[in-house]
Chains A and B, each alone.
Chain A
Amino acid sequence: MIEARHIDKSFGENKVLDDVSFLFEEGKNNLIIGQSGSGKTVFMKCLVGLYNIDQGEVDYDGRVFSRMKTKERKKLRQEMGMLFQGGALFDYMTVEQNVMFPLNLLTKQSSAEKLDRVNFCLDRVNLNKANNLMPSELSGGMTKRVAIARAIAMNPKYLFCDEPNSGLDPKTAGLIDELISEITKEFQITTIVNTHDMNSVLNIGDKVAYIANGKVWWGGSKEEILSSDNKKLNEFIFATELTRRLKK
């Protein structure tokens, strides 16, 4: 469980998050949806502490990030996995080295144990022949899958995914969503996914927060989202022909 309480974040004059609160639940796909530029990435980076927040607190199962010491934060970080928008694979390392990297740096496992874990993770994302490829040799979907494998290498309790299926075709996008969802259920992870894709929302949105103009305007599940009478939300979700037809 991760709880964001009254978070404010500005960049200079630009107030990106204004008193944002939300509860992200364990074992669920928690989605943050909103238009491009609405602050999803900033919100996620505030949650994980990559950005310092101006006000408010982030609570990880009773541990408040802003009140923790550097050492405790480092430990908490090791319980987090994050999938970045562009994959953020280390481009001078092979796929295998990428996934092994956190294990090398943060654990004392033997080489055999580490390799086992790497192969398990790669297998889990259906990539078992890619160990020796370089990131530049991967397709968009493969890049995301390697990034997922790296994010789950340390067995995280918290998984953050920033636009996991942006730039992918609908089929691959769907597969990535499924994968994230399966992993979340299988390991009972608190997963937070940023997306602007209504397909993902209807597919895996156990719990959804809609943000716009720095505020959370609506929270609920995929079952409730189409029938909500929240005007702000409807502007966003019925922006496409497809969802409008679905409503009818």
Chain B
Amino acid sequence: MIMLFGKYFLLMRDVIQRPQKWRFFWKQLFTEFYSLGVESLGIVAIISVFMGAVLALQTAFNIDTPLVPMTMVGFTTRQGIVLEFSPTIISLILAGKVGSRIASEIGTMKVTEQIDALEIMGINSANFLILPKISAAIIINPFLIIISMFLGIFGGWLACVTTNLVTSHDYIIGIRSWFDPYSITYALTKTVVFAYIIASVSAFYGYITKGGALDVGSASTKAVVQSSILIIIFNLILTQLLLT
């Protein structure tokens, strides 16, 4: 366990350095924007719309006293989406999708000696391969999360309007009441930390893979499990730090 931490920090020391050639870094960064960001849009959109809808419906069903105004539905949905669902749950989904991809890509390069081939050319392979991935995740995930927020709130609206449980007017009043901009800061701070966890932990498990194709598979499983656990733990820590 301690060995693992040590190895992780040693790897990060190699990763976080000036790229040898910026041209390669930028090129790689944009490729990663695409493969980590754009290719995740679909799943993020679908999950956000449906979760927003469910959140809104459940809130609406549970309001059975006229003392609570129906505008609560919009408010609760917004709070749930912005504070927790988008930054945390979507990050967990991304840990599965993006994390396994990063770990298997780097793991394959490791077991097929492509990483050794980079090293033998005098290239810092950790920096060359991992820095663009971490940077891309940190930059692109906040956008994904903001998109998820809008779509989640939209999903809630769609559910309310199509079921006639809440009027469009009430829902919109709800989502506009008691809005604290700090909640966005809080959500995006979490997102950035989670993005770093996903990219760096997955890259780490890929990088220490030994053996063959089977080991690449198990590295990618480990990457997803460990980054998910870390996300949950850091969610608690960051919530303590940022909201108290």
Contacts and interface: CB of A to CB of B under 8 A. Distances in A.
Interface stretch (B112-120, B165-173, B178-186, B229-237): B112-120
Interface in A66-120: 73-78, 80-82, 84-86, 88-91, 101-102, 104-106
A88 B114 contact: yes
Given A45-B116, A88-B117, A91-B114, A77 B24 contact: no
B137 to A, nearest CB: 19
Nearest to A45: B116
A77 B20 CA distance: 15
Given A105-B20, A105-B21, A105-B24, A50 B121 contact: no
Interface of B: 20-21, 24, 108, 112-114, 116-117, 119-123
A50 B117 CA distance: 10
A154 B21 CA distance: 17
Contacts of A89: 114
Contacts of B20: 105
Given A88-B112, A90-B114, A102 B121 contact: yes
A48 interface: yes
A82 B112 CA distance: 14
Interface in A115-150: 150
25 contacts: A48-B120, A50-B116, A50-B119, A74-B122, A75-B122, A76-B122, A77-B119, A77-B122, A78-B121, A78-B122, A84-B113, A84-B116, A85-B113, A88-B113, A88-B114, A88-B116, A88-B117, A91-B108, A91-B114, A102-B121, A104-B21, A105-B24, A105-B123, A106-B123, A150-B117
B117 A82 contact: yes
B122 A106 contact: yes
A105 B25 CA distance: 11
Q: Which bucket holds chain A's interface residue count?
A: 20 to 34
A78 B116 CA distance: 14
Contacts of B120: 48, 50, 77, 80-82, 160
Nearest to B108: A91
Given A50-B119, A80-B120, A86-B112, 10 more contacts: A50-B120, A75-B122, A77-B121, A78-B121, A90-B117, A91-B114, A104-B21, A104-B24, A106-B123, A160-B120
Nearest to B121: A102
Interface in A138-197: 150, 154, 160
Contacts of A73: 122
Residue with the highest number of chain A CB atoms closer than 10 Å, among B20, B120, B123: B120
A82 B120 CA distance: 7
B25 to A, nearest CB: 11
Nearest to B20: A105
B117 to A, nearest CB: 4
Contacts of B122: 73-78, 106
B107 to A, nearest CB: 13
Considering the complex of A and B, which 8 residue pairs feature the smallest CB-CB distances, nearest first?
A77-B122, A88-B113, A74-B122, A84-B113, A88-B117, A82-B120, A102-B121, A88-B114
Nearest to B117: A88
Contacts of A86: 112-113
Nearest to A162: B113
A154 B121 CA distance: 9
B93 to A, nearest CB: 25
Contacts of A50: 116, 119-120
A223 B123 CA distance: 40
